[in-house]
Amino acid sequence: MKKVIFTEHAPKAIGPYSQAIETNGMLFISGQVPIDPATGKIVEGGIKEQTEQVMKNIGAILKAAGYEYNDVIKSTCLLSDMANFADMNEVYGRYYTENPPARAAYGVVRLPLGALVEIETIAAKQ
C-alpha cells in the first residue's frame, strides 16, 4: 500500500505529483528544487546556496516520513550546468559523510523555475 508524504517544511508540489511516496519500507522523494518553503521562491545565491536548500527540503521530507539521511540509498542529481558539479558535490557531501548513497549526476538543458540543481532521493528502512 502506498502512503503519500507531505510536510509544510518542504515546498509544495508545483505539478501533479507528491512530495514523496512511501511503500514497502521504501521512500521515493520527488525531485527537489531550491525553493524556500517559507517564501515559495528559489533561494538567492549560487549553486552552493541552492544545493543547501535542496538538501534541507529533502531532510524535511525524510523527517516527516520517519527517515533520516543515513536511510538514503540512491540520489539522482540534475544540474543546469555541469561546471557546478564540484560546488554541488561539496555541499551534498556534508549530508552523507559515512556510507554515502549510490548516486548519478546529469547535466540537463533546463530545470523548473530556473533552478541550478534538482535532486531526487530514494530511502529505505534498514
Query: What is residue 14's predicted lDDT score, i.e. its pLDDT?
Result: 82
* Phi, psi of 10, rounded to the nearest 5 degrees: -135, 160
Domain that residue 82 falls in? 3-124
Is the pTM above the cut of 0.95? yes
**In the 3-class helix/strand/coil scheme, how is 49-88 assigned residue by residue?**
HHHHHHHHHHHHHHHHCCCCHHHEEEEEEEECCHHHHHHH
Domain count, the chain: 1
Q: Give the alpha-carbon dihedral of 31, 6, 35, 28, to 10 degrees.
A: -10
- Model confidence band, residue 11 (pLDDT cutoffs 50, 70, 90): very high
Distance (Å, whole) CA 117 – CA 88? 8
Please report how the helices 47-64 and 85-95 are oriented relative to each other, as an axis angle in degrees rounded to 10. 30
The CATH number of the domain holding residue 98 is 3.30.1330.40
For residue range 89-120, list pLDDT tens digits in order. Answer: 999 999 999 999 999 999 999 999 999 999 99
